[in-house]
A and B are shown apart, each in its own frame.
Chain A
Amino acid sequence: MNVKNKPLLFTILAECNSSKARVSKMQLPHGVVDTPVFMPVGTQGTLKGILPEQLEKLDLQIMLANTYHLGTKPGVDILKKAGGLHKFMNWNRNLLTDSGGFQMVSLLKLAEITEEGVKFQSLNEQKSEVMLTPEHSIEIQNAIGADIIMQLDDVVKTTNPDKERIEVSVHRTTRWLDRCLSAHQREQDQNLFPIVQGTLYEDLRKISAKDLIQREVNGYAIGGLSGGESKEEFWRIVHLCTDLLPKDKPRYLMGVGFATDLVVCCALGVDMFDCVFPTRTARFGCGLVMNGQLNLRSKKYEKDFKPIDEECECDTCQKYTRAYLHCIVTVIPVACHLLTIHNVTFQLRLMKGIRNSITQGNFPKFVADFMLKNYPDKNYPKWIKESLSTVNINLH
């Protein structure tokens, strides 16, 4: 394929002198994405009551949607008739869809994985058995039309110790990638990302990455983490995978979105993240701040007339006090909208801070300042100190 016509152009703009962190520009069919990037999750083609107009105003460049949900409702036919999800939901910026496999395994107790695909009992009234194959996942994702789409992978829980099963999943994931690649109909405007598997086994991760990087693709994901493993195990695998994956392509760590994890994993060389956490926690009445989150339901905010975060420039922080939010959270839907606006703004601001500090050459200081805010007594968790020192950022 001609380089000029590639649906993804990845340009590294700056690199941290100490760690593996880097700032890049990722040109996609629906605009530029500045990385490292956090992508909020708009599962069913909408993000928690927020209008796409509002998200554009926040300068959001890319969001996620879920293939399993959209394939069920509204379904492929409607999506095709609507001219794809961008048009259907009036979002003219970038989208990424997952493969649907993760949802099946996590949401459906009855899912069974065979070489053909993921077999599960449909939620419709007939309770019929349905098979999600790599080909079918790509067919749905082609109809949705996201700028980045994911291969169907064989997901095994990180807490599953059965190495034999995990080894099967690693090889099967590669075979499924090849089936996905040959089923893919829209190479000119949709980027298919493979997913490195192997849970917590370093030797299996190496095999997985080695096999996947031989395929001609524009970026890679690190899957099978953020599923209940210890932080100690988690960071070592991330560190290993970013070493194994090519430097000149974006690396996407799936399902990670807590602020400290984002900061550490940027240092480890990850470019893209997604997580439901910021929007989900908003629904429960929590507002994110640099050193954690405020549970606005708590009575201690009853007479607190400060905004959630005095440094935040979002509409919510400009206009509403913690005391007011305390009165309305979990009572009226609008409260969820207000907190979602803040929490998405928070994630974007954090990522911007990371990018700016890398560009300006002071990322290690940014990391140190951030960690100090979160752990004022300098009682840093072991995994944070270890992971950062591995990439030459030492917390004192």
Chain B
Amino acid sequence: MKFVVKQLTKGVPRLGKLIELNGKPNITLQTPLVMLHTQGGQVPHITHEVLKLVSNNPHILQIPLVSVHNFKEAMDYFDGAINEFIGSEESICCLTLHDPSNLTQQGFNAKGKVPVWTKNGKVQYNSESYMKTVESFRPDMYHLLSDGDTNQSSTQKRISKAVANTNAFHKECLEIHRTSEKLKDCLIIAPIAGGYSISQRKDCLESILKDDDEVGGYLIDGLHNNGPEVEFLPFSDIEPIVKYSIDKLPAEKLRTIQGCWNPLTIIKLVKLGVDIFDTSYCRMLTERSAAMTFPIDGTEDSVTYEINLRQLRYLDDFQPILIGCQCPACLKYSRGYIHHLLSVQELLGPVLIMIHNIHHFLRFFEKIRRCIDEDCLSQLETRIEIYFTRYQQEILLPQKEPVVNDTIY
């Protein structure tokens, strides 16, 4: 796998492409791109077959280890890579550590080990056990093991430990990678730790950049502990760290960031030069029964940023989620039907919302790429800002709209 940047200018929104993918020579992926966040190898609520109804293009699946750690036993005997095991041979898989859509429990960090909170409880990984799993899964790309357990309130002590751990994991994992025949075509993403401390980021970057020629890209890690709170992390808080890190990173390498960032923050991060995001934001919205309705082209008939389909006002609303949207959910199903499904806790409710959210988010990224190409990203930013600001103000209002209660027969 190879990454090619269109212009090698620093600190600006940039277009790039991923080419020469393993076993998929004819596929090109354009950046900035969004990886499809998965759990257990599937986009939440959507089977690979339904995903094809939403998008027929090739995608990178983000596979958080925490949701597939129980696959290892089978994978050790399975004659194939993780994309084949999960039934999506046509996909490109990126193995990551934590699930960006769920809050990661803090603490329990021991030297040389990272706790991963699976459904069966805590599992500790060290470089060796982590790399064994990577070798067994054979993803197309993966994150090296890291200690990203920092956020805005982390102490200096915690941050410096996170950096020390991450630096050590980096060296140990790379060492194993070098001797691994199975991983020789596998692209490495190196996480950069250091919380909100510029000096700690500096230390981490200096240590990790020594191995730059072996690394395909970098992850700006340690900004948050995942989960819904990332949506409202102010951009101004993360900006200095992201800006500083990107300035230090080589321009020809991929820059990735994880988490449920809102679309406005995503545009701002793209403007700083971030190349890869994920769709955990779609899942987070879907779990709270919300569908994205912010305009992407500016021609959509929408006055809202998102709508919550549990609200009673949708009971007899037979319009689609977003008028004019061409996703399979909007073409054939109404807000009223989805409201009904949610009110009786039927599985198809989140399926339809997720179909729409994924479709909308993919379209949003297409638009970002087109805007960079046409040099009008700021216009898109302004448009979405109006909708997002209004939405943020509305959710702070004391009067909440009535929503349907769950009933169980």
Contacts and interface: CB of A to CB of B under 8 A. Distances in A.
A79 to B, nearest CB: 10
Interface in A53-90: 53-54, 69, 72-74, 77-78, 81-82, 88-90
Contacts of A72: 407, 409
Interface stretch (B12-20, B37-45, B302-310): B37-45
Nearest to B45: A333
B409 A107 contact: yes
B78 A323 contact: yes
B263 to A, nearest CB: 25
Contact of A51 (B42, B50, B78): B50
B8 interface: no
Contacts of B318: 81-82
B348 interface: yes
B384 interface: no
Interface stretch (B157-165, B273-281, B328-336): B328-336
Contacts of B407: 72-73, 123
In which size bucket is the chain A interface?
Answer: 35 or more
A77 B336 CA distance: 12
A334 B42 contact: yes
B347 A303 contact: no
Interface in A285-331: 302-303, 305, 315, 319-321, 323-324, 326-328, 331
A338 B50 CA distance: 11
B70 A82 contact: no
Q: Which of A48, A78, A334 lies at the interface centre, i.e. has the most chain B CB atoms within 10 A of its CB?
A: A334
A45 interface: yes
A44 interface: yes
A81 B316 contact: yes
A49 B346 CA distance: 7
Contacts of B409: 69, 72, 107, 123
A239 interface: no
Given A53-B53, A327-B40, A333 B347 contact: yes
A324 B42 contact: no
Nearest to B337: A88
Contact of A73 (B39, B50, B74, B344): B344
A49 to B, nearest CB: 3
B374 interface: no
Given A53-B328, A73-B407, A74-B315, A327 B71 contact: yes
B346 A51 contact: no
Q: Which of B44, B49, B86 has the largest number of chain A CB atoms within 10 A?
A: B49
A327 B347 CA distance: 20
Interface in B71-91: 71, 73-74, 77-79, 85-88
A27 interface: no
Contacts of B40: 327-328, 331-332, 334-335
A72 B344 CA distance: 10
B336 A82 contact: yes
Interface string B44-74: 1111111001000000000000001011011
A332 B43 CA distance: 10
Most chain A CB neighbours (cut-off 10 Å) among B47, B73, B86: B47
Contact of B74 (A78, A302, A331, A333): A302
A302 B316 contact: no
Interface centre among A50, A51, A319, by most B CB within 10 Å? A51
B256 interface: no
B332 A90 contact: yes
A22 interface: no
Interface in B199-221: none
Nearest to B351: A49
A93 interface: no
Contacts of B347: 46, 48-49, 333, 336-337
B42 A328 contact: yes
Interface residues of B, number: 45
Contact of B334 (A82, A320, A333, A334): A82
B400 interface: no
B328 A90 contact: no
A327 B70 contact: yes
A123 B332 CA distance: 32
A315 B49 contact: yes
Contacts of B74: 302-303, 323-324, 326-327
A81 B341 CA distance: 17
Interface in B95-125: 119
Nearest to A44: B344
B369 interface: no
B258 interface: no
A65 to B, nearest CB: 12
Contacts of A326: 74
A344 to B, nearest CB: 14
Nearest to B78: A305
Contacts of B348: 46-51
Contacts of B340: 44-45, 73-74, 78, 88
Nearest to A314: B49
B150 interface: no
B350 interface: yes
B343 interface: yes
B398 to A, nearest CB: 25
A338 B48 CA distance: 10
B351 A51 contact: yes
Q: Counting chain B CB atoms within 10 Å of each CB, which of A45, A54, A303, A333 scores highest?
A: A333
Contacts of A73: 340, 343-344, 407
Contacts of A81: 316, 318
A123 B409 CA distance: 8
Contacts of B336: 74, 78, 82, 88
A335 B86 CA distance: 11
B46 A324 contact: no
A89 B350 contact: no
A337 B77 CA distance: 26
B316 A78 contact: yes
A331 B66 CA distance: 13
B177 to A, nearest CB: 26
Interface of B: 39-42, 44-50, 53, 68, 70-71, 73-74, 77-79, 85-88, 119, 315-316, 318, 328, 332-334, 336-337, 340-341, 343-344, 346-348, 350-351, 407, 409
Interface of A: 44-54, 69, 72-74, 77-78, 81-82, 88-90, 107, 123, 302-303, 305, 315, 319-321, 323-324, 326-328, 331-338, 341
Top 9 A-B residue pairs of the complex, sorted by shortest distance between their CB atoms: A49-B347, A319-B87, A334-B42, A323-B74, A46-B348, A328-B40, A332-B40, A90-B332, A74-B340
27 contacts: A44-B344, A44-B346, A45-B337, A46-B346, A47-B348, A48-B348, A49-B351, A51-B53, A52-B332, A54-B50, A72-B409, A74-B340, A81-B318, A89-B337, A90-B333, A90-B337, A305-B79, A315-B47, A319-B48, A323-B74, A323-B78, A327-B40, A332-B39, A332-B40, A333-B44, A334-B47, A337-B347
